[in-house]
Structure 1
């Protein structure tokens, strides 16, 4: 991804954040370069198909590189807990993976912090929750609409501006597919409703081929070209 392309993608991510802040999103960071940060907002405003009334939803918790294993993740989570409690919320909810994946939070950390798995969804998603009110209903994934399936041929990508890399890389992937004569369709999710009713749990980036889910990994053009070689 070129510098100008990435710069534009970052601008779009910042706009996405700004728009969500009007809906209650908090972006809190512990360093100036934003390598240690958390994003959270009321779960009814989440860009994910979950039912979690009066819960806070963690959209992203990120601790990068040298900042890992220094207690920063706990500090970020404590900030979210303080805000959720101050607002009288029933708990906090987050989407993790049943296995370790680069684009999902580590389930072990959240379990260590008292979260419990309350629901699961294919192929590897788990919903974890920390209850602040033990009598409150547990969150759950919304049932996928039977009509929300991917019927288009070729490569189909669903993505949103939640991650600048997703926005910035799509056109490069399109070029690779076109050069190989592969049909390519990209659906940008631009509203919360579109994300909640899309045929994906993880609306940041999802790639399908001939209707079959392939990956949520935001990959480089070179890696995408290798992927095409294996699935064609």
Structure 2
């Protein structure tokens, strides 16, 4: 962990710079502050999701020996590099929130921050969990084990580019076009494959390396692993339910 400063500093340079560059480019097409802030924030999230999922593919494809003890340098380096993104994205969401409020709606800073926290509890909690739970577990408490599984969890980001692009399309009024429909279908497929099927995939790979069937794996791993996966899967099922609902509403509008 002696070299943590370099990826951490690079993260603080890369993600804010990308945000302000995206905002500058968007300014050439619109003067609306909400549109500029929304597109910039979602553009950075798309880039981060593509990077994280690519890192996940590299890590998983490299761990071909003992999946419990195989190591890859990208695991810790990318977690440190991406931590500034999680912090900066909270700020970027706050900018979007304030840009969407008129001058008459603006309050004192403290009240506005509290209102922002109340309006985005799930996403803010998601970022904070990654920073203060996932990050420390990956960096300090794994005892050198499980790089393969960290890489697998990076797979969940594969659906995010389509999720964030949907928000951009909605902002510019193209959500219900053919492009929006195609993006929605890709979101459904990637979400199902990379978030829902991820868990039987991990259990199946672990079972294959230990000569266990998929159904035997839960009885041969620690209870905390099963509980953690069950909780994460429950959240994914909930989000998938919301995505299905949004897709149904889009189809009804097109009829």
Question: TM-score of the superposition, structure 1-length normalised?
Answer: 0.24
Q: Which has the higher strand share?
A: 1
- The structure whose RCO (Cα within 8 Å, separation 6+) is larger is 2
